[in-house]
Amino acid sequence: MNSPKIIFHIDMNCFFASVERAENKELVGKPIAVAHQDPLYRGMILSPSYEARKYGVRTTMLVRDALLLCHGLIIVEPKMRLYQEYSRRFMEYLESVSPVIEQASIDEAYLDVTENSKTEHPLELAKRIQDHLLTELGLPCSIGIGPNKFLAKMASNMKKPLGITVLRKREVDKYLWPLPIEEMYGIGKKTAPKLREIGVNTIGDLLKVDFSKLKEIVGQAYANALISRAQGNGSTEIVVGESDFQSVSNAHTFDNPVFDLSLLKETLKVIANTVSHRLEQQDKEAQTVGLIIKYPNFRQVTRSKALAKPTAEAHRIYDVAEEILEEMFHPGDQIRLIGISATRLIKPKAEMKQITIFDNLSEIEKEEAIKKLLKNLKANFGETSINRGYYYRGKDNE
């Protein structure tokens, strides 16, 4: 019988702000926020320190709004090359601890320490990693420890900064279920209000709600995935190195700056279709989706989100990009270019469909028929003859 996996999720605390402090000790202990300087203070907060967060300063907030909350807030211009260099050092050190490492973003990674734990207690190892990163790089981090990636990720969020938290599967009823549904990894800001409408206010409520109602909101496959995670299940596979520096992206430049949010969203739908098609051509799925925005002054901003489950589907790519757009866009913004990037690419895993008593057999058969039809059309008329794309699900059809 295989012993349970021991997986760390290592999450750097206020990464950009912490790097700035590592470079400039005079910023230590002061409320700072990394954001683009703008004469009208319309830059977006990328990373506030914990001292700034005490005043209510949050990521994606406008600088002008943040200054109203914290008059002594120090705004620091972002230095992406510097952050990438610190990220490289961070990952390089983790690789010296365990070769089984998956970089989830510029400031977080999963580490399989099952083998390490045979000679060193996981808590002692976590403390050693945390101390090294703080003393050698000047970077504080929180570490979540669990039997799978989902529980490790949830654990790392439970105590910040400089937390070390263990979340065992047998403890999900005590520590996971009482959490607000918004705190569940994989639940976006658009999905959470819809879940609350059907009585899902906490993670534990996912196991009590009428499955048919849950399926109407998030779809059958994702509904099953959410219930599985609420039970403490998750992937234990660490994707080592395969996804580094791989990406697919597409963007559109407008003839004139656009300030109409509905037009931006319609453009994103087309871009999502293109990105999805390119992923399918390469037989890849993305683990991270990013939004690219360029303003008339040529300032470009990119913001991305890691996905709970890899995808190449246009509607899932669009949903994430739309959510980021709604967080970043403010009335009056003028957009010159908008695009989508799909990164951390991996090969799709062949999955055996598990049919449960909750599944709608007619829907499964319909989906399989569509896949078969598309395959036949492409075989007869070429790969580019037809593709599945983003479709709009109106409120009456959700």
Q: Which residues are catalytic?
A: 108
- Torsion angle, CA of 198/201/206/207, rounded to 10 degrees? -110
293, 267 contact by CB (below 8 A): no
